[in-house]
Amino acid sequence: MSSFSNRTILITGAASGMGRSHAELFGARGGHVIVHDINPDGVAATVKAIRESGGSATDMVADIRDLQSFRTALADAVKSGGDVDILVNNAGVTGGRKSIEQVDEAYWDDFMAVHVRGAFFATQAVLPAMKARKYGRIVNISSQWGIAGSAFASQYAGAKAALIGYTKAWAKELATFGITVNSVAPGYILTPMTMGSRTRPEDYAERLRPIPLGRGGEPIDISYAVAWLASDEAAFVTGHVLNSSGGEVI
Ligand SMILES: NC(=O)c1ccc[n+]([C@@H]2O[C@H](COP(=O)([O-])OP(=O)(O)OC[C@H]3O[C@@H](n4cnc5c(N)ncnc54)[C@H](O)[C@@H]3O)[C@@H](O)[C@H]2O)c1
């Protein structure tokens, strides 16, 4: 099990769900975590949980769609937290089910601003310090639907496929700077994003049917994959997409 002591980890969208789970795992393994999200109460709760377990964390509240506010909040956070060694591009919103015709321009722009533009410019913001120190780990949170496609969620599948494209391109562009770039593509994970949409037990059972391992993933299942890709144990792995879907997409 890798230690992250002497590492600063920025996790976007860490007020809830998987982002909070990643933040708590990195904190428990000795890292200093910059907990970013648009939701201040959720950020405070994640920071509190890390500190109560003996870890170290800084809060960073910003809407990732507002790049100026994101950059200002990051500059403040690194003053106390130190330059970012590890970036996890995790912030996201659920797209719901929409046909191609149901997606209008405003919705498309807003959705892409969180998932794709947000991840691109968060990465751009941390690169100067990573390049200067010739060390960095970037983990982009994609989705099994970014690999396999999903009918009536093309905006989501397209955004997550874009993150896989970035992962491979950035891996090639940044390798000479000692920076690795990888992606985790989660399957169906039980978080606030997914649990709101299935309240009847029969709908939930139906959703689990195509998953060979027979269950939905827990956030910690994904956190272990993220932590491994961000660790020194994965120093020779870059441009990889780690599919963690219980076998639903192979
Ligand atoms: N839950 C799943 O089954 C699943 C599967 C595959 C991929 N994912 C992806 O994993 C990531 C985490 O999802 P989750 O299931 O933990 O969801 P979640 O809703 O619990 O967490 C997403 C976080 O992103 C934050 N966020 C949203 N818009 C933001 C903005 N404009 N600025 C800053 N923060 C913002 C939210 O406030 C929230 O805390 C997302 O990228 C999601 O697309 C989820």
Ligand 1 atom with the shortest distance to the CA of 18: 16
Could you tell me the domains of the chain? 8-242 (3.40.50.720)
Give me ligand 1 centre to Cα 57, in Å.
Answer: 20
> Can you tell me the distance from the alpha carbon of 137 to that of 176, in angstroms, rounded to the nearest whole number?
13
Angle at 22 between CA 17 and CA 25, to 5 degrees: 125
Q: Per DSSP, what are the bridge partners of residue 139?
A: 88, 182
Q: Are 131 and 158 in contact (CB under 8 A)?
A: no
Helices 154-174 and 118-133: crossing angle in degrees, nearest 10, is 20
Residue among 22, 24, 74, 93 whose CB has most ligand 1 atoms within 8 A, to mutate: 93
Give me ligand 1 centre to Cα 65, in Å.
Answer: 14
Ligand 1 atom with the shortest distance to the CA of 192: 20
- Mark whether 188 is an active-site residue: no
Give me ligand 1 centre to Cα 132, in Å.
Answer: 30
> Can you tell me the distance from the alpha carbon of 176 to that of 118, in angstroms, rounded to the nearest whole number?
24
- pLDDT of res. 26: 98
- If you search the block for the tokens 């999903």, which residue do you land on? 150
> Can you tell me the distance from the alpha carbon of 176 to that of 227, in angstroms, rounded to the nearest whole number?
22
pLDDT by residue for the chain (250 residues), tens digit each? 789 999 999 999 999 999 999 999 999 999 999 999 999 999 999 999 999 999 999 999 999 999 999 999 999 999 999 999 999 999 999 988 999 999 999 999 999 999 999 999 999 999 999 999 999 999 999 999 999 999 999 999 999 999 999 999 999 999 999 999 999 999 999 998 888 777 687 888 999 999 999 999 999 999 999 999 999 999 999 999 999 999 999 9
H or E element at residue 73: helix 67-81
User: In residues, how long is the chain?
Assistant: 250
The sheet carrying 56-61 orders its strands as: 56-61, 32-37, 8-11, 86-89, 136-141, 179-186, 241-244
Residue 234: CB partners within 8 Å, gap ≥ 6? 180, 182, 228
- If you search the block for the tokens 């399957």, which residue do you land on? 187
Q: Are 12 and 88 in contact (CB under 8 A)?
A: yes
Residue among 191, 207, 242 whose CB has most ligand 1 atoms within 8 A, to mutate: 191
> Can you tell me the distance from the alpha carbon of 144 to that of 242, in angstroms, rounded to the nearest whole number?
10
